[in-house]
Amino acid sequence: MKILLKEKSAIDLLFVKIALHDDEYAFRELFSLFFSPLCFFAYRYIPDKDTCEDVVQDAFYKIWKNRKHIDITTSGRNFLITSVRNNCIDYIRKKELEEIYRQYQKTKGIQTEVSTEELYSTVELKELIDKAMEILQPNIREVFELNRFEGLTYTEIASKYNISIKSVEAYISKALKILRVHLRDYIAPAFFYLLFNEFLK
């Protein structure tokens, strides 16, 4: 195990606990913080949610299995990104999808290189979203939270507030537009709806 960092962040310290002390709690905490964000990242390479989850789970499995040989020279976040990216590339190669992937990338125009600063943990993403939610009007925020975070259908929300389904649709649409603008510096537009529709349910 080698972690060559002058200053260790809280994430880096989790890796230290995992590598040096076989700390299962630290591993579970790392998994909880970054599983969904890394699935979100993996989707840039493999446009299939279930496969992304398998790829990320395998990356975490390898981290635990090879914990005594972890070599981190930049940061724990960068190590996670690199691990998942390598798994994605391995998956693509094994399935002989390199050409399909290249065509997909061209048609979508998606940039797959991501800096360490762009990998936010689940907690950090929640803080960014909570802050953005504060700018929504109370009635719009309540409707949006019920639908996206609590899973209520448009019909259920309409019945709860005695409003039309069209009104619920308008509230959700307005909330998404406002949040997209407020979060544009943190979440690429191409992945904004994916984040809310798939990985934050």
Residue ranges of domains in the chain, CATH in brackets: 2-109 (1.10.1740.10), 122-199 (1.10.10.10)
List own/partner pairs for 120-127 with CB under 8 A and 24 or more apart.
120/37, 120/186, 121/11, 121/33, 121/34, 121/37, 122/32, 122/33, 122/34, 122/35, 122/36, 122/37, 123/33, 125/36, 125/37, 125/195, 125/200
> Per mean pLDDT, which range of 85-89, 107-111, 125-129 is the poorest?
107-111
End-to-end CA distance of the chain: 36
- Region 49-63: mean pLDDT is 92
pTM given for the model: 0.56
- Where residue 135 falls among pLDDT bands split at 50, 70, 90? confident
What proportion of the chain, given as a percentage, has pLDDT over 70? Answer: 74
- Where residue 2 falls among pLDDT bands split at 50, 70, 90? low
Tens-place pLDDT, residues 146-181: 887 788 888 888 898 898 888 888 888 888 888 888
Task: Identify the pLDDT of residue 102.
Answer: 60
Tens-place pLDDT, residues 3-40: 554 446 788 888 888 888 889 999 999 999 999 899 98
Task: Identify the pLDDT of residue 53.
Answer: 92
